[in-house]
Structure 1
């Protein structure tokens, strides 16, 4: 099928939310207060995983630097506010929990690329960055382009094999949730395939889609609203970063004494 339009893609991206027009003064004040102290919670079952991160655990146990590489699309960033995007919030949360461990984090954006297109450069990225952990956020572009689900599954499988053979731990991050695009994008085939492949390779899957849907249903965020300002995007990213840090540390199976 032909690719979806850029306008539709923008609807699904938090970066697109952040690029929306300015809010009213009172909305800005409310969002600013909320951004300062996000209250979003994640049910424990959405952060549970049987898969582990042994290389992360080993680095922490031996007090070695923890090097994290985030490979993501445009929804991994906030335009003109990188320090507020979820990778930066993840790094801050890890530093808070592991104050004696150097946390080095870098982001490699693969904007507009499908999983298959990203595959080709994964090994080179790992060779250049030498990460302890790769966080691979994918699926949105494939869903927008209506890539054949079996081809998507094969691309994820090939990518995970390449990363694991390169000697790094991996966390998969799936699509973000957008109630406004549910009738335009069929997310389930991509979500299901990511879950299956992650289980086959014993890779933890951070279910961003289910977590954001929970926040929307619980009223933490109104993701259906036609208006979203930068503050809204910052709040969502802050919550994602905190949740992802907990997910990573839990998957590393650390002793309580190893965390702050």
Structure 2
């Protein structure tokens, strides 16, 4: 991985959904401030009540105006996020990335019309840090895509991402948050924080392999590993990042599970598709933005949908070959 190059990242600001949502809280008006004006306007009870109505009406109108504007702003943000690919298209990697298998368990469930449970397991990339709204993190994007494709299916995508964690912390909650849920598919994003902490990639790979063994012993779930992101904070540690990517790929091959090569996919965005880094990474130089999460989810969802299509067509994939890369 010595050929990896750090980037110079320009500042990028996320869409101000938070500010818009804050506007939804109406401005407060103290009854104590309105009382003197009401008493001075009339001595009678009925006149006082009329004065109260007169003084509160503009306030209510103002509050409705603020709320309406805030709602309009949120709708604009949602529309902007919804048509995000019309500005920068989400394309699969150019050349070389071919399918190496399928996801037979989750695909079989979808074909049979049975409920499907997917657990997205990982750290802040799974939790969705950097997205302008929870709706725009990758698990929710993936769920929306699969539900559009299979509108009659009962699909649950559980977000089990906790920021700052890596394999040692994830192993402590593997039983409760993954195995005990009995998922049909586990998407395990891991390795980035180990690189940032200068942990031994070999130790991380060993823990991940042990975790996969535990999942496979308990369930027939498909498993997909997601390796670190290609972003300035990671590529500054090129040697460690490269080793982590290689080792996770070897673990996937050894344990016959899937691998989504996020590092290579994101590098393709920048180097082959000429997309500026700030178009898919936020200003911290590490986390993805709405577009990054959306394209990641789209490519992953495309492979799940492709797996369903393969099984419907009777394409037999060897039981011991589950690893795949985006086509």
Q: Give TM class, smaller chain.
A: 0.7 to 0.9
C-alpha displacement of 1:73:
1.0
Contact 2:146–2:301 (8 Å) recurs in 1: yes
C-alpha displacement of 1:100:
2.3
C-alpha displacement of 1:208:
0.8
- Give the Cα separation in 1 of the matches to 2:12 and 2:208: 27
Q: Partner of 2:182 in structure 1?
A: 130
Contact 1:85–1:237 (8 Å) recurs in 2: yes
1:75-133: CA deviation from partner (whole Å, max 9, x where unpaired)? 22045511011111111111122222121111012322221321232122234422111
Contact 2:119–2:158 (8 Å) recurs in 1: yes
Contact 1:67–1:103 (8 Å) recurs in 2: yes
- Give the Cα separation in 2 of the matches to 1:162 and 1:66: 20
Pairing 1:214-233 to 2, within 5 Å after superposition: 214-219=268-273, 221-223=275-277, 228=282, 233=289
Residue 74 (str. 1) matches residue 131 (str. 2) = no
Residue 65 (str. 1) matches residue 119 (str. 2) = no
User: What SS does the corresponding residue of 1:135 show, helix, strand or coil?
Assistant: strand
When the two chains are superposed, the root-mean-square deviation of aligned CA atoms in Å is 3.4
**Equivalent position to 1:146, from 178, 192, 198:** 198
Q: Partner of 2:292 in structure 1?
A: 236
Q: Partner of 2:265 in structure 1?
A: 211
Residue 255 (str. 1) matches residue 307 (str. 2) = no
Q: Partner of 1:113 in structure 2?
A: 165
Contact 1:139–1:175 (8 Å) recurs in 2: yes
User: In 2 relative to 1, CA 127–43 (structure 1 residues): closer, same or farther, beyond 3 Å?
Assistant: closer
Structure number with higher relative contact order (C-alpha < 8 Å, ≥ 6 residues apart): 1
For structure 1, the 5+ residue unaligned runs are 1-10, 23-28
- Give the Cα separation in 2 of the matches to 1:17 and 1:128: 40
- Give the Cα separation in 1 of the matches to 2:273 and 2:16: 23
- Give the Cα separation in 1 of the matches to 2:248 and 2:293: 22
1:18-77: CA deviation from partner (whole Å, max 9, x where unpaired)? 76999xxxxxx9xx4862524120137676343432221221121101111101211220
User: In 2 relative to 1, CA 46–246 (structure 1 residues): closer, same or farther, beyond 3 Å?
Assistant: farther
Q: Partner of 1:103 in structure 2?
A: 155
User: In 2 relative to 1, CA 255–47 (structure 1 residues): closer, same or farther, beyond 3 Å?
Assistant: farther
For structure 2, the 5+ residue unaligned runs are 1-7, 18-76, 315-327
User: In 2 relative to 1, CA 17–64 (structure 1 residues): closer, same or farther, beyond 3 Å?
Assistant: farther
- Give the Cα separation in 2 of the matches to 1:111 and 1:43: 28
Give the number of aligned pairs.
236
What TM-score, normalized by structure 2, do the two folds share?
A: 0.63
Residue 199 (str. 1) matches residue 253 (str. 2) = yes
Q: Partner of 2:84 in structure 1?
A: 35
**Equivalent position to 1:184, from 217, 237, 259:** 237
- Give the Cα separation in 2 of the matches to 1:136 and 1:157: 11
- Give the Cα separation in 1 of the matches to 2:147 and 2:159: 17
User: In 2 relative to 1, CA 18–73 (structure 1 residues): closer, same or farther, beyond 3 Å?
Assistant: farther
